[in-house]
Amino acid sequence: MFHLYSDRNEPESVFCHLLQHLQENENNILELLSCESGEPFLRYFKNSLNDLIQKQFVIQNRKNNRNIPQDFLINHISGSFVEMVLWWIKGRMKETPEELDRYFRAVIEPIL
């Protein structure tokens, strides 16, 4: 299995951990995304994800699609995560972080 899990004892992925924090701070996140500074926040969030994805997943675990440039793959995964979060927020966060984590990993694990 990929290193998609945090250092905690329970099998919780890093992505699930991020989603839980977003859910816990739902009001702040919604306010931030709805104001003028929403776009810079999303860029910052995506850049931070790029670093996380590169260090924890792509460099250590990449077995498939070696002919795809690493920066393209990282951009694709982080962009997909940001779009998923926006979709989740627009849908009023009906899914649990655990459900979204399962969906997201089901989509990205095959490409790594």
Q: What is the pLDDT of residues 68-110, one digit of tens each?
A: 888 998 999 999 999 999 899 889 889 999 999 999 999 988 8
pLDDT value of position 59: 63
The pTM (predicted TM-score) of the whole model is 0.79
| Residue 6 pLDDT grade (very low, low, confident, very high; cuts 50, 70, 90) | very low
Per DSSP, what are the bridge partners of residue 5? 13
List Cβ<8 Å contacts ≥24 apart for 43-51.
Answer: 45/82, 46/78, 46/79, 46/82, 49/77, 49/78, 49/81, 49/82, 50/74, 50/75, 50/78
How many C-beta atoms surround the C-beta of residue 50 within 10 A?
17
* Beta carbons of 55 and 40 less than 8 angstroms apart: no
Q: Which residue has the higher pLDDT, 54 or 30?
A: 54
pLDDT value of position 99: 95
Candidates 78, 13, 14, 19; CA nearest to 44 is 78
